Amino acid sequence: MSAPRTRRRAAQEKLGHGSDDDRTAAVVDGNGSTRDAPEASDSDGDENIFLFWPNIIGYCRIVLAIASLYYMPLHPRTCSLLYSVSCLLDALDGYAARFFNQSTRFGAVLDMVTDRCTTSCLLVFLSSAFPRWAIVFQGLIALDFSSHYMHMYATLVVGGSDSSHKNIDKSQSWLLNLYYTNKIVLFVFCMFNEVFFIALYLLSFSSPLLSPHLIKSVEETSGGQIQPGVPVNTSLLRQMFPDPFSAAALEIARANKMDSTLPWIITGISFPIMLAKQIINVVQLVKASRWLAEVDIKSRKAKGLNKKARKA
């Protein structure tokens, strides 16, 4: 091996010593001498997490959810359509995350927060539509938030910051393992849970059995009687609204034409799955509480606090 080539290799090996943090990149020229190269900036390769495709889908879900809330009081068809599309996009963002290799913690939290908030807003409306059952809807909101918060916090404490709330071992809970690891099971439970509440929402506009005040208020105002499925004439609308052709008046007329048969069928089919979903939320809350308690017990033993408590 020639002397210049030997000196060049020795210079390259010398440059290899030291840590990556305090080593300056160097360039070896044709004469075997070295010179410093400009350091690469850490920000040159930064990714904009907020513009990842799954997160963009999440933003679209939020926009659709807000739009559905705007139409919720008087436009049941438009609201149901927007709300349903927002829920269906929940399945699409997961596929996008895997397809583009863009799974992020921000995206997971954004997805969960959006789910909790949209469902809660719908349950709040149902509480006002069915005031006698308001305590049930309030309890469902509390259970939904508490179980998911406790579960996500417990998985972070037990598994570390790199863990996911969907990584549940069978030894921890076979039910939660099946629920979170089987995509079909997760999709079916989440979909029918939302479908049940959407069906109840439609029944609040179409079923005098569940919402007699919708018909009763018109009877008391006009002195007449309105049967479901009978078109509302403009003379009656004039007694209810200053402009009988306004958006609110026309929507009330359409709402009285709605048939409650299909919403009742959807409610009956989706109710068992919705109930099972609430049972899973209870199991999730109990399991997460136990996992956190076990961590507290180990932590107190490590610090010797359990012995001090016994002496006291």
Give the Cα separation of 137 and 128 in Å (integer): 10
**Position 84 in a domain:** yes
DSSP 103: -
Q: Which one is catalytic: 36, 115, 259, 296?
A: 115
Please tell me the total count of domains within the chain. Answer: 2
Give the Cα separation of 212 and 311 in Å (integer): 64
Q: How many residues are listed for the chain in this entry?
A: 312
CATH code for the domain of 176: 1.20.120
Which residue intervals of 130-182 are DSSP H helices? 134-159, 174-181
Active site residue 296: no
Other C-beta atoms closer than 10 Å to the C-beta of 237 total 21
Which pLDDT score, from 0 to 100, does residue 256 have?
Answer: 53
The values of phi and psi at residue 34, to 5°, are -115, 155
**Position 61 in a domain:** yes
Instruction: Identify the domain containing residue 181 by its residue range.
Output: 50-207+260-303
Token duo for residue 210: 């569940």
Residues 93 and 228 in one domain: no
pTM passes above 0.95: no
Residues 216 and 278 in one domain: no
Bridge partners of residue 28, in order along the sequence: 34
Give the Cα separation of 131 and 86 in Å (integer): 26
Which pLDDT score, from 0 to 100, does residue 100 have?
Answer: 93
Residue pair 279/222 in contact by the 8 Å Cβ criterion = no
**Position 19 in a domain:** no
Give the Cα separation of 26 and 15 in Å (integer): 7
Residues 237 and 265 in one domain: no
Residues 124 and 234 in one domain: no
Residues 180 and 55 in one domain: yes
**Position 5 in a domain:** no
CA distances from residue 86 to 79, 95, 191 in whole angstroms, order as listed: 11, 15, 11
Q: Give residue-wise pLDDT tens across range 206-237.
A: 877 776 655 444 444 444 555 555 555 555 55
The values of phi and psi at residue 2, to 5°, are -70, 160
Residues 279 and 187 in one domain: yes
Q: Give residue-wise pLDDT tens across range 144-172.
A: 999 999 999 999 888 877 778 888 888 88
Residues 110 and 142 in one domain: yes
Residues 181 and 252 in one domain: no
Residues 102 and 240 in one domain: no
pLDDT mean by block of 10 residues, the chain; 312 residues:
51 45 43 47 74 96 96 89 95 90 92 95 94 95 96 88 80 91 93 96 83 51 50 51 56 63 95 97 96 92 78 66
**Position 44 in a domain:** no
3-state secondary structure at position 241: coil
Residues 264 and 117 in one domain: yes
